[in-house]
């Protein structure tokens, strides 16, 4: 029943999702927040980060409980763009320094040194997205402005798979100058959805390292896609855009039009998330509002 948002007003807000009312407010040290990512378990952990190059980990308080002092994770040399909990106390962050990092919250060293447990370097430009493999607590995917998505495993120095956006659409080279992988989401352990800046959105199969489905038209400027998420069944793919949310049927091949277009906001939908219950999709927008849509 709780939704967590972070914004550049310098606050983390815990919402009571069914009523849309604010439950609690947690002030940030730095107002330039870019995301909030919660652990999908009973730990109540939430990570936030942004332009101050650090990731802050909170234990979300219960109603009428005071917030505990958050943990501050230092080590990145660029902004922290996104994060994902692989398991309780195991966190992956991605950064503008072109790396991803593993943090073991049970074994953090002192704050005067680099606190990262592992660093994953392979992308050529800043990272913008990270997603956890739903079948494993050791595997994850990262998306970058270099136009690639890389699949990683804990302990490995190199990615197990590299997916290139420009290879997904042979017509894109004449149309798009920004192949940035803005959003990444697992459909299954081997198939991933990717939302790009100007190539549209795709469904990739990691086994063949190719796009098995493309969503969008070749005939027009399809505009930036900011984020993506799947329904609990995996059939529907939700894609955030500059003016709403596209809903695609992944079983329909190379569809030119979405199954449905939702317009819950008056500005860019910056982030999407589907909870483990699969009953709704949560959206955060540049119009300073968040929404929860029934599926």
* Tally of CB atoms within 10 A around 282: 19
Q: What is the pLDDT of residues 93-104, one digit of tens each?
A: 999 999 999 999
Q: What is the pLDDT of residues 3-48, one digit of tens each?
A: 999 999 999 999 999 899 999 999 998 889 999 999 988 899 999 9
Taking the C-alpha atoms of residue 152 and residue 232, their distance in angstroms, rounded to an integer, is 23
Q: Are 200 and 182 in contact (CB under 8 A)?
A: no
> Strand 181-186 to strand 118-121: parallel, antiparallel, or no bridges (unpaired)?
unpaired
pLDDT of residue 169 exceeding 80 = no
Q: Are 45 and 36 in contact (CB under 8 A)?
A: no
Specify the pLDDT at position 203. 96
Q: Please compute, for residue 69, the number of CA atoms within 13 A of its CA located in the half-sphere on the CB side.
A: 1
Q: What are phi and psi of 165, to 5 degrees?
A: -70, -35
Specify the pLDDT at position 218. 56
What is the mean pLDDT of the segment spanning 256-277? 93
Name the nearest CA neighbour of 27 among 42, 46, 6.
Answer: 6
Mean pLDDT for the chain overall: 91
* CB-based contacts of 284, cutoff 8 Å, min separation 6: 5, 269, 270, 271, 290
Taking the C-alpha atoms of residue 203 and residue 252, their distance in angstroms, rounded to an integer, is 11
pLDDT of residue 182 exceeding 80 = yes
Specify the pLDDT at position 170. 45
What is the mean pLDDT of the segment spanning 241-248? 94
Specify the pLDDT at position 29. 87
Least-confidence region, from 89-98, 131-140, 212-221: 212-221
Joined together, the tokens standing for residue 39 give 């652990």
**Higher pLDDT residue, 229 or 112?**
229
Q: Are 17 and 1 in contact (CB under 8 A)?
A: yes
Compute CA 201 distance to the chain's CA centroid, rounded to the nearest angstrom. 14
Taking the C-alpha atoms of residue 48 and residue 32, their distance in angstroms, rounded to an integer, is 10
What is the mean pLDDT of the segment spanning 255-271? 93
Kindly report the pTM of this predicted structure. Answer: 0.92
Specify the pLDDT at position 175. 46
Share of the chain above pLDDT 70, in %: 93
Taking the C-alpha atoms of residue 88 and residue 190, their distance in angstroms, rounded to an integer, is 23
């Amino acid at each position: 029943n709780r939704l967590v948002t972070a914004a550049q007003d310098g606050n983390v807000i815990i919402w009571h999702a069914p009523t849309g009312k604010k439950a609690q407010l947690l002030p940030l040290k730095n107002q330039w927040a870019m995301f909030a990512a919660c652990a999908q378990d009973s730990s109540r952990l939430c990570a936030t980060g942004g332009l101050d190059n650090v990731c802050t980990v909170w234990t979300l308080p219960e109603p009428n409980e005071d917030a505990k002092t958050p943990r501050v994770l230092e080590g990145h040399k660029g902004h922290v763009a996104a994060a994902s909990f692989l398991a309780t106390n195991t966190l992956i962050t991605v950064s503008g320094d072109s790396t991803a990092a593993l943090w073991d919250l049970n074994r953090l060293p002192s704050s005067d040194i680099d606190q990262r447990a592992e660093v994953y370097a392979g992308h050529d430009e800043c990272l913008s997205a990270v997603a956890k493999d739903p079948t494993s607590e050791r595997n994850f995917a990262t998306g970058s402005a270099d136009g690639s998505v890389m699949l990683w495993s804990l302990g490995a120095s190199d990615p197990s798979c590299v997916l290139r956006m420009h290879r997904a659409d042979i017509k894109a080279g004449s149309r798009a100058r920004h192949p940035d992988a803005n959003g990444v989401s697992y459909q299954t352990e081997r198939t991933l959805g990717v939302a790009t800046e100007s190539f549209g959105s795709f469904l990739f199969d990691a086994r063949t390292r190719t796009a098995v489905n493309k969503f969008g038209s070749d005939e027009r400027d399809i505009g930036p896609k900011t984020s993506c998420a799947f329904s609990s069944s995996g059939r529907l793919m939700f894609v955030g855009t500059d003016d709403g949310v596209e809903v695609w049927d992944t079983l329909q091949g190379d569809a030119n039009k979405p199954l449905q277009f939702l317009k819950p906001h008056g500005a860019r939908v910056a982030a999407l998330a589907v909870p483990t219950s699969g009953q709704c999709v949560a959206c955060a927008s540049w119009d300073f509002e968040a929404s929860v849509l029934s599926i």
